[in-house]
Amino acid sequence: MLPTVQFRSRPAIIDLSWGHPRPDLLPVDDWAEAYGTAIRRYRSAALTYGRGQGPGPMIDWLCAHLAVTDPPGPRPAEVFITAGASHALELSCSLLIRPGDPILVDAPTYHLGLRILADHGGPLIPVPTDADGIDPAATRELIGELSRSGRPPKLLYLVPTHGNPTGRSLCVARRTALIEALGDLPVIEDDTYRELSYDGPAPPSLFALSGGTVIRIGSFAKTVAPGLRLGWLTARPDLVAALTRRGYVDSGGGVNHATALAMTTFGYGRHVERIRQAYAGQRDALVSAVAAALPDASFAVPAGGWFLWLRLPPGLDTARLLPAAEAAGVSYVPGDRFYVTDADSRRLRLSFSMLDASALRAGVHRLADVTRLAETAQPAPG
């Protein structure tokens, strides 16, 4: 039989590479109930072609929800319902990017986001960053240089809140400076991890700080379930209207209509609170295991999201180390996947979303053993 899911299980490997949810945290029964409630409540309206921008009850629900999680929240005309954040990124690119258009990207940033962007334009150009993330003044200079050389960038993509892979969030001062520095350049803010904040609320979105000029994309993949393929974007009303006018929306109606209606009947707040506590516990387990077993590696404790961005000691290259790690029964994503150029070869991404605390600890011990072996195999300094 053909496989049902994307995840490929390798039983001998404790796999810290996948940014997938822990299966037993997926709300199987509650979602079945939400679907049933939505079908009974909306009857044939749940099963016919949906309204292009998204069904009214979902847009109202989302506006009210975002007004609490990231005030002041969008107006209804600023929202478009999508089939996940990836789809929101794909749609935004289809409006804004033509082949050959230069696209600015944060460094490092979400590796599969880079693939979606590369499908549309190119080249991808990394922005200047430091330990705190994107540098607004240097980015303004880069935009000026590119424009003077006849290659003005058409877009900036970044994950400024609990970023993938870094777990880092851009501070408010940099957010404000960045919006100022970018002028009219369209920005796509990937806000997928905002609600998985473990140590207090996340900083306001670029969308909120910009008064709605930034395109923000969001998802229910991490907070509810990726298989729903449900997400959204908030943007200027003219961009939302342009998406709503696209031929495929005219032909097929709103995206993922029945699932969007079911979301409005699901006990979202209670569910997110429960998984936030579970993922915070997994974050803590991974952080303590890494601190104890890999004392010479460095990392910042992620205040949210699903990832720990680890830096191994000098001399180790995480892409080269991966086959040995997998042979020893542990996997991760080498850091170079998250860069367009100038990768930091000592970095790797560990995901704490899919495994419980004891599996995370066991994975870290295997990683520590492999790292120690690789260190001792290095030639002694001459």
Residue pair 312/346 in contact by the 8 Å Cβ criterion = yes
30-61 in b/e burial notation, b at 16+ Cβ within 10 A?
ebeebbeebbeebeebbeeebbbbbbebbbeb
Return the structure tokens found at 229: 């393929």
231 versus 334: smaller Cβ distance to ligand PLP: 231
In terms of CB distance, is 5 or 291 closer to ligand PLP? 5
Q: Are 304 and 352 in contact (CB under 8 A)?
A: no
CB atoms inside a 10 Å sphere around CB 25: 16
CB of 131 to ligand PLP, least distance (A): 20
Give the C-alpha separation, 76 to 62, whole Å.
Answer: 9
**81: nearest Cα among 247, 344, 286, 263:** 263
Query: Which lies closer to ligand PLP via its Cβ, residue 58 or residue 316?
Result: 58
* Residue with smaller CB distance to ligand PLP, 19 or 329: 19
Q: Measured from the CB of residue 162, what is the shortest distance to ligand PLP in angstroms? A: 9
Q: How far is the CB of 278 from ligand PLP (least distance, A)?
A: 18
For the purposes of burial, counting CB atoms within 10 Å of the CB of 160, is it exposed (0-12), middle (13-18) or buried (19 or more)? buried
Q: Kindly state the smallest distance separating residue 5's Cβ from ligand PLP, in Å.
A: 13
**At closest approach, how far in Å is the CB of 292 from ligand PLP?**
27
Residue pair 206/179 in contact (Cβ under 8 Å)? The answer is: yes
Closest distance to ligand PLP from the beta carbon of 189 (Å)? 10
- Distance between CA atoms of residues 46 and 253, nearest Å: 12
Q: Residue 320 CB: number of other CB atoms within 10 A?
A: 11
Which is nearer to ligand PLP, 20 or 311 (by Cβ)?
A: 20
Residues that bind ligand PLP (CB under 6 A): 19, 84-86, 110, 113, 159, 164, 190, 192, 219, 221, 226, 231
CB burial of residue 131 (10 Å; 0-12, 13-18, 19+): exposed
Q: Name the minimum Å distance from CB 84 to ligand PLP.
A: 3
**360: Cβ contacts below 8 Å, ≥ 6 apart:** 16, 282, 285, 286, 289, 352
- What is d(CA 144, CA 135) in angstroms, rounded to the nearest whole number? 14
Residue 304 beta carbon to ligand PLP: minimum distance, rounded to whole angstroms: 12
Q: Given the complex with ligand PLP, which of 140 and 349 has the nearer CB atom? A: 349
Smaller CB distance to ligand PLP: residue 114 or 316?
114
